Structures are given as structure tokens and as C-alpha cells.
Amino acid sequence: MTGTAPLVVWFATTDSTARLGRLVLELDAAGVDAVVLPGDGSVDPVLLAGFTTRTATRIGLVASLSPWVQPPFLAARALNTLDALSRGRAGWFLDTTAPTGRSGDDSGRWTPYDAAEAELVAARADYLAATEALWGSWEEGAIVADVATGRYVDAGKVHVPDHRGPYFASRGPLNAPPGPQGRPTLLACFAPGADVPAGVDVLVVTDEAHVAAAREHTATVLLAVGGASDASLPATTADGYAVRDVAYGSDSAAWLHGPLADLAETPRGGLLRDRLTGAGAPAAVPTA
């Protein structure tokens, strides 16, 4: 990557709808590149992100979604809708934690509960392949919108992917054209030796020593920082920072008005993938 200003992606922690809404506005005003909205609480991250698109008009809106919550078609459709609403600012943080709850039916279909780690890795890859196939089911130029002939879509440019994987199946096609990015920007955590999702755009590491290994899989790497009282930015060879585990209120204010205040003199805009993969650091990260 090239650029002068480190990237900043903020992982929200609160489960309050009102606080999350206020936090997104504050981060947008502060010039933070993107916010990751949690998907493990009572608030639906995609719905909240859609709600904030009109008031937070620049920041990237990333929904944390697990493959174990909903079928690939519903996830692909929701994220595609968010990308359209936000004009290309949608992202997907792939939650790779093992499922903690249990649900099922009498269909005999595969479920992730009690599955071994290797099986979960294979199932996640299959889930990603299914969503990718759905996002790719519309070719560029498929929308004709010819009022005179009443023809809206060139049917020859809309394809049925009919994904039939070992764990997930989705016939498709997606029932709407792709958003401005084609597919949402994909973010995930990285750990040496662990599986890396195919097509990932941004990886988050917790240790500076892992930056080089993460770069073997993607061009953009962020170093995780955060904490209630540790409002500081360490030197890094990564492209910026993923701010995590910071409570909303005095702690978040300390970060926004402290170490992050000088990082976004000219906030980045445009498509989220472009800003996260083509406008980062490490040119201006702290060196001491």
C-alpha cells in the first residue's frame, strides 16, 4: 500500500442502539475510516448500519456477521443492500468464533454445533464461496432500464450460480444488482497458522510480530490497540490500527481526542475497499 495517513478502524463494543448510533456519528466526525458494528448482541448490525447511512455520510460501515446465524443468501442480500444504501461503504467482518448457542430442525441438514475446528474452517470457506457466487450472479451492464421497450434487465447477463457446496447450497441469483463495490469489503482477524478467509481485504493482528505473516495473505494489515486506560499508539509496520475493547463514553473520548486526533487531518472518502486497500500507511505511523 501507499499513502501518508494510517488507517483507523474502530470496533464498537456497546450493545445499546442509542449509544451505537451516537458512536458512529462521533467516529464519522473524527475521521475514522470505518466502524465495525458487533453482531453478537441484541442489535442487528446491518439494520443499524443502514439506519446510520443518511447521518454518517463518510465512514465505512462494517457489520460483524457469523456464518452460523443465517443462510448465505440472506447475508449476501443484506450486505448488498447496505452497500447500495451507503453508496459503497459496506463491509463484512467475518466472525470466526465457534457457535455458542444451539438451534436446529428435523431436516437433517448439517449444523456447526459440536463440529470439529477443521470442519468449521471448511464450512466457513463454503459459506464465503456461496456469498461470492451470489454477488457475482449479475454481470456489469445487466441493468438496461429501457423505458420505451419496458425492458429493465438483460436476462443474458444475470446468471443462476446454483452453488452446491458440502455444507451450504444457494441457487440464486441475487434478487438485486450488485452495489457500488461489487461485494462488500471483507475484514477478518489473523493468527499465525490459522485459516485465512479467501478474498479477504483487511487482516487484523494482535501482535506486531505477526504483521509480516499477515501480509502474505493480503496487502492491508491493521494492528489491534485499545483498552480503557492505554490511550496510546505503538510504533508499527502495519497500515494502521484497529481500535478494540474501548468502552463508549470517557474512554472513547480519550482515544478520539487523544492519539487519534492527529491521524485524520483529511478524512478519506469514496468506496470502502479503495480507501482501506489503497490509501493507508505505514508512512506516518508513530516511531517512538
pLDDT in tens, 56-110: 999 999 999 999 989 999 999 999 999 999 999 999 999 988 777 666 666 667 7
Ramachandran region of residue 226, left (φ > 0), alpha (ψ -120 to 50) or beta? left
The answer to whether the predicted template modeling score (pTM) of the entire model surpasses 0.95 is no
The residue that leads in pLDDT, 279 or 86, is 86
Does residue 2 have a pLDDT over 50? no
E-only strand ranges, the chain: 7-11, 34-37, 60-65, 90-94, 143-146, 151-153, 163-164, 169-170, 185-189, 202-205, 220-226, 240-244
Q: What's the CA gap between 81 and 79, in Å, rounded?
A: 5
* Secondary structure percentages of the chain, helix, strand, coil, to 5: 30, 20, 55
**Residue 262 has what pLDDT?**
76
Pairing between strand 240-244 and 220-226?
Answer: parallel
Q: What's the CA gap between 288 and 29, in Å, rounded?
A: 27
Tens digit of each residue's pLDDT (9 = 90 or more) over 36-62: 999 988 889 999 999 999 999 999 999
- Is 7-278 CATH 3.20.20.30? yes
Tens digit of each residue's pLDDT (9 = 90 or more) over 94-103: 998 877 766 6
Does residue 31 have a pLDDT over 90? yes
For the record, the C-alpha cell of 177 comes out as: 444488482
Query: What letter would DSSP give residue 210?
Result: G
The SS3 assignment for 9 reads strand
